[in-house]
Amino acid sequence: MALRVLVCGGGALAHVFAGVIGAVPGTRVSVLTRRPAEWSHSIAVHHADLVIQGKAEATDDPAVAADAVLILVAAPAFAHEAILRRLLPHLQPDTWVGALPAIGGFDLLLRHLAPGHGKVLGSLRAPYNARVLRYGHEVLVTGVVPHLDLVIGSGGDRHDASALLEDALALPLRVIEPFLLATLSPASTIFHAARMFELLIESKPKRQKFYAGWGDAAGRCYLAMDAELAALRRILQCDAPGIDAAGHYGVFEPAALAHRIRSLPGLPDIDAPVFDGMLDVEHRFVREDIPYGLNLAQLLASKVGLPCPAMTSVLATITQAAGPAAASLIALPSHFRFFETGDGTIT
């Protein structure tokens, strides 16, 4: 029997999943997208000198979820709830549902929407950096993680989940716990926020590239918040070796970190969401990383009484730049209340 996989989304990561998984023998891939007519039945994934050609069927009908063994939500965290609500009427008890990466309490959101569904998985980082070359047809992979840190909900067998994902993506996996590590790792939760903070305090009138312009101030900010996240993980007794920023990038000083990030070939050359001190509140880095990452980390730190001056300063600066009109875009999503029990303690 063919392994049925459903990919939800239309961005670069969805294109890579469709092409890579669709090239695995014995696998059938569907793509749930609002623009199915623009998708080819064959997706080309380019990486260095390699071209992978995978087959996929695009549709806007969420009923395809009923046949899926694995569902991968490849969309920003602020789109997760809308996508899951479309899938719920067709979701089968034995289907694994995952987000790669799973920032922002993806497991809690699924538990909130489908209380009896325990098969949930996620990752700390995106497995690929990529950009679409031709929508629905071709995608360029500019970077691949050396291994994927996988978090798995308590309602399913871990070996089953990791074997399934390893077969689909052909990437080495490391299963770590708990699921909260997907939000408390120094990936999206603080990475983009550090660079936004640098741009806001410098207010350079010239349009800046997000990664190529990374400076020492962003490096200092990132490492300071990384240390606070590490302290929070220790207090919450949820940590794993090698997930801190210094360990991930192999550097320990702000200037060296800035140089390392500027020189990474796999990061897309995109414009920053800050121009002349003004914050683009509609930008994905703002709408996803602040409410679903930094805001949540700050909340958890406050609940355990951990002072986090770097995170507090960054969040205050970004919130002020966003202004009152954008308050709802960067506010904590409602499903975060499931991080607390009735007496206010963290679960």
Q: How many CB atoms lie within 10 A of CB 341?
A: 9
Instruction: Taking residues 190-210, report their average pLDDT.
Output: 85
Instruction: Taking residues 186-212, report their average pLDDT.
Output: 86
User: In the numeric block, which tokens belong to residue 216?
Assistant: 């020492």
| 242, 173, 294, 196: CA torsion to nearest 10 | 80
Percentage of the chain lying above the pLDDT 90 cut = 66
d(CA 324, CA 148): 38
**DSSP symbol at 271:** B
Type of residue at 331: A
Name the one residue in this structure whose structure tokens are 């007794």.
237
Percentage of the chain lying above the pLDDT 70 cut = 94
pLDDT band at 172 (very low <50, low <70, confident <90, very high): very high
Whether this model's pTM surpasses 0.75 = yes
Instruction: Taking residues 291-316, report their average pLDDT.
Output: 94
Instruction: Taking residues 194-213, report their average pLDDT.
Output: 84
> What is the pLDDT at residue 343?
46
> What is the pLDDT at residue 247?
79
Give 31's strand partners: 7, 58
User: In the numeric block, which tokens belong to residue 44?
Assistant: 């080309």
**Is the Cβ–Cβ distance between 61 and 94 less than 8 Å?**
no
**pLDDT value at 346 more than 60:** no
d(CA 5, CA 7): 7
